[in-house]
Amino acid sequence: MVDEITSKEKGENGDLEEKREVSKKQNLNDNVVFVGSKPLVNYIKAVITQFTRKDAPEVIIKSRGKFISKAVDVAEVSRRTLEAKGVKVKEITIASESFEVEGRRTNISTMDIVLSREV
């Protein structure tokens, strides 16, 4: 996530000049992988990239409905691949979301798997 701060200052010729400062803040969603209909390997690469290149202390794998089993596969393959680096399953959260579609109440299961690196 990039935040841009704009301010106006008087320049050398006395006119107001716009000054922009750009600062980078780590977004909390940087370490979240949402599992969906793409191939399994794409999600595994995303998790491994978070741990190796971005040096994330933990990665959250989120899924809903029929993609929960794929999220479990992503977590297990990633954990086994990064086992030498101390990556373990820290937490698993299951829940259910309820919403109304065309006058019918529908429930959909959700699962969050937190993988973390042991220090």
**Would 1 be classed as within a structural domain?**
no
**Would 44 be classed as within a structural domain?**
yes
CATH number at residue 86: 3.30.110.20
Whole-angstrom Cα distance, residue 57 to residue 79?
14
Length of the chain: 119
pLDDT tens per residue, range 24-72: 444 556 799 999 999 999 999 999 999 999 999 999 999 999 999 999 9
**Would 21 be classed as within a structural domain?**
no
**Would 2 be classed as within a structural domain?**
no
Domain of 33, in residue numbers: 28-117
Residue 14's pLDDT band, with cuts at 50, 70 and 90, is low
The mean-pLDDT minimum among 1-15, 58-72, 99-113 falls in 1-15
Is there a contact between 92 and 112 (Cβ–Cβ < 8 Å)?
yes
